[in-house]
Structure 1
């Protein structure tokens, strides 16, 4: 290969311009995407939320022509204050993979064949109508996720619940957040965590319950580290089942046997009561005591029904229950020394220390996830360390809109955009806004996520539209549901951007626009709603 002096000087000038742009606009850019004659200063920067986890960081995306070519953190966003993690810094790359779906595909003679979008949509409508005519409205379903933007989830709920009249609407947040939701509901009577990210700046102690924030929520972990660096006595305690990068950065790492965090939490409450660290004024004014359900199944039984009920008890009954959970007894169960359990108890019990507890999927996908959520709330309620700056039990969300879409606009079988299907007032409100008869909205929930896939396997549901999620990887007892989706008489529609094991079982694949290719809204862990504009064109159809 030969190069002329003129071209060499020209390429050096372009490189210098790129370096200057990087200095002015620090971030990550992807030079291999740029045309060689990209003039300096041609990148236009626009604000958008990141959509790769539930933190909700603000990004600035650089667009040149019709392509996103660079990204950096938004310094004016109160969530991340200009910082990004590796996912944010590489986020725009997902738009441009070579194997991206850009047209519809229809299974013909066992093979997926590229098909005009109108033909594919007509087939979807035909199959949906045939299922309803044959088996009734509850034979069709839609399964989405916390990756749905808020308008996407709202449209899905309106279409299926308001138009078709079935409550067969679910989302994968049922798998990751059901324990967090049920933990909130059974403890507080309302859903959603009460903490916010400013608690990170105000807390004296952070206790991470079975989660690796340094790698999974690195921007929030960085805020914790910044707080510790700016003050003299801030501590990070990593309560974990294995050593991680969070363990390395923590002041103390405590490793427990998997599932035994239940015993640890009860032992902490035992010590708080024993040492008179209970905030009596707060408990008297705001706390009642209840015995929860214990016969709650294991999530694998079709048609499971609860046989026991929650009972109201008094403080003395609760104290008696905790008598079995001494630190020494908990040590035998958890592998954590009684000394370390007492240390944790003293941190929570110290009235001069503000304590924030963080957890995510380690607790929320626990086989007893609701219970462990309840028990950590118990610690904060006993000490009154809740809903004040720096004092927060905080369940972190994994997906960008597990809060903002699923909980807020009703993409679960029992939910509506405001209230639940069981409540007449909520049905009336939705019917009025949607412009449909109230009778269209069924007052009875149908299937939660796992039961919906069981119903697909059984044949009670024979049409399922799956959007922005990959259940043929994420579902428990997966082989049953993969085989069920392939049975005769089942019709699976998948809206996706890339091939997945779920698109492998589809009868129709519909290409999707992603993130900054369209306008939308996302929520985040602290219930912040963020808007994004369309910044680049949608590819293909």
Structure 2
């Protein structure tokens, strides 16, 4: 029986309920293999969901060497036993037909099976050849927020410490880099001060640039529960597209794409004008800055004069009264306010500024570092924080939020790594867009991609796919073919999820252990093994003689001790259901709220709040002006295009398209068009159209008055599709934020044509 999309969406609520009950889930006559009865399972093994950055704890049911069921971990504080549909259906990703079982080498344009030694020897030879002829910066690595922390740490050590290049970046650059830059520039340190526990204590939710109902459904369910628990709780959703998240909104702000900087400044204007700021907090805990220049409060207030609601109404397409109303709700005395956002703010050429402006609102009102009061950046991947931001696996970073440009940081890391600090480059390497441009330009001779799919996910894709074909491309992947592995010269089979042990770090600073539950199929091996085997062949074997993951972790943990990002021991993580760092006492409590006593162990009681990432302990309120996106609509390309996610799928669907129920519910992507725009263009629901930009085009089915409804002048496309003709990243722009280097996926100019 066909499992319809409507039934699938309806099952989200059902799935959440059954996930904690141990029941099996059936819908539309199709059994969705989730929790089964105890007699069907030999043992339950503790892990973490493989999808988004929420970090839901799971228990995997194993029978005869296979994962046959998954249920929510009732002892995990993140989800308390609940799971979304994708989580419940995780067993079905394990034995997919396209699992890669053996190493492959491309010969005469065709992939042929190879032994591990043959494949690894070839990879090492190509690295040696490029380094000898062109230098260490001729090779690079592109990793993932899906890697375990151990994998990312080993890659970082190999490339930065041993090879001597900082050309190591990862896909969190494309999703969370502006959040990093926002936290660091405002507070001096990365990652949120609050946790998900603030949800149950908040009275006002300001959700901007996030469709969490589909992208982070378990977090959304907690907000729904909080709203249902108290009729006075208010939800503000700011998004150019009406999404499922807006179903619970008291106020929906559908602003013109790219005008949210003006909106956020206007809210700050109202907070000051109507005396909704906390003057004592501002005086004691903040500085004001405009660019690199320190300014006064009065100068900041003068800067905001251009952002009155009446002026900003013309820029944003909103009513002045709407802006005043949401600012009053945000700043209401005696109410706790939590802001949440993700790619809508981050994937912009001014994404760092947008993050700064959200932080401004909390600093002005003093609604920060207190229960229920926090600016909170949601994370897109299961370990984007733990395996990239914290491990330092980006081209400018080193472990525990150190930076490559700081000689003391290089020396500290080199000492633990056992390498000569002089070998470590002080120059940031290629960030993501530069990395793939260097491949296209012929500067990058060898590129190793692990656990990600840039052949589908990079913007302005036509250029960069050609670059991947030009360089010697090594891909470590659990599935084949993907839109990246098809371009590779060598493909190495990877163990997937609970076929290996590892550590993930979620969006609330929670470090979580994943136990190995089953053996990987065929000859697949953990990515950490791939990396160490190549390291040995490059002559660095003595530096990678770890006997297990715990040894790797404990070496890495040394680099976190004393940094105020202190991580707990591996042995403790095996037992616990996640701990939020810092955890300076290996046997002591974890940290609920950073920068504030009594929760943060690095803040004294008499200090109250101290933003210790800054030398003077003060956070920064930035005067950041409104600025247009890189590409604005015009007569030739009259529509804004934005891209995003839907409930059913995740990223490039290498996993979710292997789940039959999900594939049947959503087999292909589409373009959402505003009903009025569609009528003008003579387009009906279900018609095929072309979405065309200056870079490329794709052919998609039109969706009118569907689940999401973009404002007039805007179209929206999910980026999940693997079919070349429907891959929206041939259309998107590769312009990026000057500070964070994050691409502007969210806005470019397109036209719509009948196909």
Whether these two folds match at TM > 0.5 is: yes
CA contact (8 A) 1:28 1:89 kept: no
Native 8 Å contact 1:137 1:164 kept in 2? yes
CA distance in 2, matches of 1:370, 1:248: 28
Report whether the alignment pairs 1:187 with 2:169: no
1:366 is displaced (CA, Å) by 2.3
CA drift of 1:449 comes to: 1.3
Contact 1:467 1:494 in 2 (8 A): yes
2:125 and 2:154 mapped to 1: Cα distance?
A: 20
**Partner of 2:375: helix, strand, or coil?**
strand
State the 1:474 CA deviation: 1.6
Is the counterpart of residue 386 in structure 1 residue 368 in structure 2? yes
The answer on whether the counterparts of 1:240 and 1:254 sit within 8 Å (CA) in structure 2 is yes
Whole-angstrom distance in 1 between the partners of 2:360 and 2:234: 21
> Which of residues 520, 524, 527 is equivalent to 2:509?
527
1:339 CA drift (Å): 0.9
1:434 aligns with 2:431: no
Trace 1:161-180 onto structure 2 (pairs within 5 A): 161-180=160-179
Q: 2: CA distance between counterparts of 1:430 and 1:265?
A: 39
Q: Quote how far apart the aligned CAs of 1:471 are.
A: 1.0
**Counterpart-to-counterpart distance in 2, 1:260 and 1:331:** 10
1:510 alignment partner in structure 2: 492
User: After superposition, where does 1:45-56 map in structure 2 within 5 Å?
Assistant: 45-56=44-55
Q: Which residue of 2 aligns with 1:361?
A: 343
Paired with 1:232 and 1:31, the residues of 2 have a C-alpha distance of 37
Structure 1 residues 97 and 318: alpha-carbon distance in aligned structure 2, compared to 1, 3 A threshold: same
| Residues 109-188 of structure 1 mapped to structure 2, 5 A cutoff | 109-188=108-187
Q: Could you say which residue in structure 2 is the equivalent of 1:346?
A: 328
Q: CA, structure 1 residues 527+383, in 2 after alignment: closer, same or farther (shift >3 Å)?
A: same
The 2-side partners of 1:212 and 1:32 are apart by: 25
**Distance apart, 1:31 and its partner CA:** 6.8
Decide whether the 8 Å contact of 2:104 with 2:119 is kept in 1.
yes
Deviation at 1:72, TM superposition (A): 0.9
Q: Tell me the distance in 1 between the aligned counterparts of 2:205 and 2:31.
A: 40
Alpha-carbon distance in structure 1 between the residues aligned to 2:242 and 2:133: 55
User: Shift in Å at residue 194 of structure 1?
Assistant: 1.4
Query: Is 1:467 aligned with 2:450?
Result: yes
Partner of 1:6: none
Counterpart residue number, 1:220:
219
Tell me which residue corresponds to 2:707.
Answer: none
- Of structures 1 and 2, the larger Rg is shown by 1
Structure 1 partner of 2:271 = 272
Cα distance change on mapping 1:27 and 1:208 into 2, 3 Å:
farther
Distance verdict in 2 for CA 1:492–1:422, change over 3 Å: same
1:413 to partner: Cα distance: 1.4
Q: How many angstroms apart in 2 are the aligned matches of 1:27 and 1:468? A: 31
Could you give the per-residue CA deviations for residues 176-206 of structure 1, whole angstroms, max 9, x where no partner exists? 1111111112211221121210110000011
Q: Residues 25-44 of structure 1, C-alpha deviation per residue, up to 9 Å, x if partnerless? A: 2355997999xxx9935432
Deviation at 1:458, TM superposition (A): 1.6
- The CA distance in 2 between the partners of 1:204 and 1:465, in whole Å, is 47
Shift of residue 103, structure 1, vs aligned partner: 0.7
1: CA distance between counterparts of 2:122 and 2:349? 40
Q: Which residue of 2 aligns with 1:448?
A: 431
Q: Secondary structure at the match of 2:258?
A: coil
> Does structure 2 retain, via aligned residues, the 8 Å contact 1:202–1:389?
yes
Residues 193-221 of structure 1: per-residue CA shift (max 9 Å, x gap): 21210110000011110211111111111
**Cα displacement string for residues 449-492 of structure 1 (whole angstroms, at most 9, x for unaligned residues):** 111111112222110000111111121222111112222xx200
Shift of 1:249: 2.3
RCO higher in 1 or 2 (8 Å CA, sep ≥ 6)? 1
Query: Is contact 1:27-1:73 (8 Å) kept?
Result: no
Structure 1 gap segments, 5+ residues each: 1-20, 293-309
> 3-state DSSP class of the match of 1:393?
strand
Which residue does the alignment assign to 1:7? none
Q: Is the 8 A contact 2:41 2:68 kept in 1?
A: no
- What is the rounded CA distance, in whole Å, between the counterparts of 2:454 and 2:208 in structure 1? 27
Q: Tell me, yes or no, if structure 1 residue 407 matches structure 2 residue 389.
A: yes
**CA offsets per residue over residues 115-144 of structure 1, 9 Å max, x none?**
122211111011111111110111111100
Give the equivalent residue in structure 2 for 1:25.
22
Q: TM-score, normalised by structure 1?
A: 0.89
TM-score, structure 2 as length reference: 0.64
The runs of 5 or more residues in structure 2 that have no matched partner are 1-17, 524-755
For 1:104 and 1:392, how far apart are their aligned partners in 2?
A: 47
Aligned residues between the structures: 499
Select 2:477's aligned residue among 468, 488, 496.
496
Secondary structure of 2:455 counterpart: helix
List structure 1 segments (4+ residues) > 3 angstroms apart after TM superposition. 21-24, 27-34, 38-43
Separation (CA, whole Å) in 2 of partners of 1:492 and 1:534: 29
Contact 1:27-1:72 at 8 Å conserved across structures: no
Deviations along 1:488-531, whole A, 9 cap, x unmatched?
Answer: xx200011112211111100111100110000000101010000
Partner SS, residue 412 of structure 1: coil
Does residue 71 of the first structure (1) align with residue 52 of the second (2)? no
SS in 1 for 2:349: coil
2:753 equivalent in structure 1? none
Measure the CA separation in 1 of the matches of 2:19 and 2:100: 32
Query: What's the CA shift for 1:404?
Result: 0.5
Q: 1:396 maps to which residue?
A: 378
Instruction: Give, in angstroms, the shift of residue 248 of structure 1.
Output: 1.5
Taking the aligned partners of 1:197 and 1:391, their CA distance within structure 2 comes to: 11
Cα distance between partner residues in 2 of 1:206 and 1:532: 32
CA contact (8 A) 2:104 2:112 kept: yes
In the TM superposition, residue 23 of structure 1 has moved relative to its aligned partner by 10
Q: Look up the SS of the partner of 1:486 in the other structure.
A: helix
